[in-house]
Amino acid sequence: MQDNLSLNEVIKEWHGSHRHYVIGFLLSILLSGIAFYLVMAGFKGSTILYTIIGLALLQAVGQLIFFLHLGKEEKPRWETLLVLFMILVAVIIVVGSLWIMFDLDKRTMDGMAPHQKMLPHTMTNHS
Amino acid sequence: MSESFITSETKIPDPHQDTFSRAIFGFWAYLMTDSILFGSLFVTYGVLQHRTFGGPSSHDLFTLPLVVAETIVLLISSFTCGLGLLAAVRGNKKALLGWFSIAFLMGLSFVVMEVTEFSALVREGHTWQKSAFLSSFFSLVGTHGLHVSIGLLWMIVLIGQVIKKGVTVTTFRRLVCFNMFWHFLDLVWIFIFTFVYLMGVL
């Protein structure tokens, strides 16, 4: 174990650079700007929906690389592996839960008109 | 061969054996568990989003200009926090404190804006008790805001430590951990403004 690294040695293990921060910042501004513009300008439809989701994912990856310096560590890349595993777990949680809940909703609530599901006074009829 | 591998005194160039790297790896592990928390809250919101119980929906409540301001302020905070760490790498304590002060003020104005938004909603009667939609909304966005608030406390402590002790091995490690925490919160915010605010208005 090399437990007593000096400050200079420790600093070398951190991988940030000015260039990366500026790129990450400008990228985030640009991607957020496009997303907000598309929605605030009043565009509608599923194309816009998928576009802003895509922009968010792109910006998340950009920030992971340029702000959190993912993938810059030396091999073996345990941190990158941890993040990739986490993405797998998160996708299972999110997609799995949404699948179960919307499937249940469809199977149990299908006969009802949309407004019946929401209005308070109808709720007691279906408890 | 494996025996000599274990007993020999030759240094194996594994970059993950010193205290600093292990701390950073541990902090990554914490951030990943935190994203399980946020993932669950996002799913809860996604499922309950349209269950407004006859009350106002996301179309009626969200004001995007405020969210734009929150996004910009949090992004600047994240960016200046990184610039502060770069100043620490150069050994420039003054610049480090300067950038961190800006990051703190930006983070603080984010929290102020969010509290303003929440109190306006509550004053109009749209509390978390009104509908499943509002419960999940306040849980998700409030949890993020709580993280930012705790991050601000952490930042005050760190600024105090840097003033008192300067940039040492220990304070640098803490600065890097905080930096990761702050960037992570900005990353979560991307998903909040996209999936909650933008999609709520779309």
Q: Chain A: residue nearest B192 by CA?
A: A56
Please state the domain count of chain A. 2
Give the model's pLDDT for residue A75: 76
Residues A85 and A54 grouped into a single domain: no
Assign B60 a pLDDT band (cuts: 50, 70, 90): confident
Q: How far apart are CA B44 and CA B141, in angstroms?
A: 12
pLDDT higher than 60, residue A2: no
Q: Residue B114: is it exposed, middle or buried by C-beta count within 10 angstroms (0-12/13-18/19+)?
A: buried
Using alpha carbons only, what angle is made at residue B183 by residues B73 and B90, rounded to the nearest 5 degrees?
A: 95
Residues A66-96: tens digit of each pLDDT: 999 888 877 778 889 999 999 999 999 999 9
Residues A45 and A89 grouped into a single domain: no
Give the model's pLDDT for residue A78: 87
Residues A15 and A37 grouped into a single domain: yes
Which of A53, A72, A91 delimits the end of a domain? Answer: A72
Residues A97 and A110 grouped into a single domain: yes
Residues A14 and A66 grouped into a single domain: yes
Residues A65 and A80 grouped into a single domain: no
Residues A11 and A25 grouped into a single domain: yes
pLDDT higher than 70, residue B10: no
Residues A62 and A103 grouped into a single domain: no
Which of A28, A56, A72 delimits the end of a domain? Answer: A72
In one-letter notation, the amino acid at residue A4 is: N
Q: Please state the ipTM of this predicted complex.
A: 0.86
For chain A, the first-to-last Cα distance in angstroms comes to 62
CB A105 within 8 A of CB B49: no
Query: A45 to chain B nearest CA, in Å?
Result: 8
Query: A32 to chain B nearest CA, in Å?
Result: 8
Residue B129 phi, psi dihedral angles, 5° rounding: -90, -5
CB B177 within 8 A of CB A54: no
The pLDDT of B149-161, averaged and rounded, is 97
Give the model's pLDDT for residue A6: 84
Q: Chain A: residue nearest B29 by CA?
A: A82
Range of the domain at A127: 76-127
| A30 touches B: beta carbon within 8 Å | no
Contacts of B50 in chain A (CB under 8 A): 118
Residues A55 and A35 grouped into a single domain: yes
**Omega into A76 within 30° of 0, i.e. cis?**
yes
Least confident range from A76-85, A112-121, B47-56, B88-97: namely: A112-121
H-helix segments, chain A: 7-12, 18-40, 46-66, 78-109, 114-118, 120-123
| B51, B68, B194 ranked by CB distance to A52: nearest | B194
Give the model's pLDDT for residue A77: 85
| A44, A75, A90 ranked by CB distance to B36: nearest | A90
Q: Which of A:88-117 have CB within 8 Å of B?
A: 89-90, 93-94, 97-98, 101-102, 117
Least confident range from A26-35, A92-101, B1-10: namely: B1-10
Give the model's pLDDT for residue B1: 46
Whether pTM exceeds 0.80: yes
Which of A72, A98, A118 delimits the end of a domain? Answer: A72
Assign A127 a pLDDT band (cuts: 50, 70, 90): very low
Residues A44 and A87 grouped into a single domain: no
Element (H, E) at B180: helix B169-191
Give the model's pLDDT for residue A10: 85
Report DSSP letters for B94-128, one per residue: HHHHHHHHHHHHHHHHHHHHHHHHHHHHHHTT--T
The pLDDT of A34-45, averaged and rounded, is 92
DSSP conformation class of B10: S
Q: Which residue ranges form the domains of chain B, and what is each CATH number?
A: 34-43+62-201 (1.20.120.80)
Residues B92-123: tens digit of each pLDDT: 999 999 999 999 999 999 999 999 999 999 99
Selected for mutation to probe chain B from A5, A11, A101 (highest B CB count within 10 Å) is: A11
Query: A110 to chain B nearest CA, in Å?
Result: 15
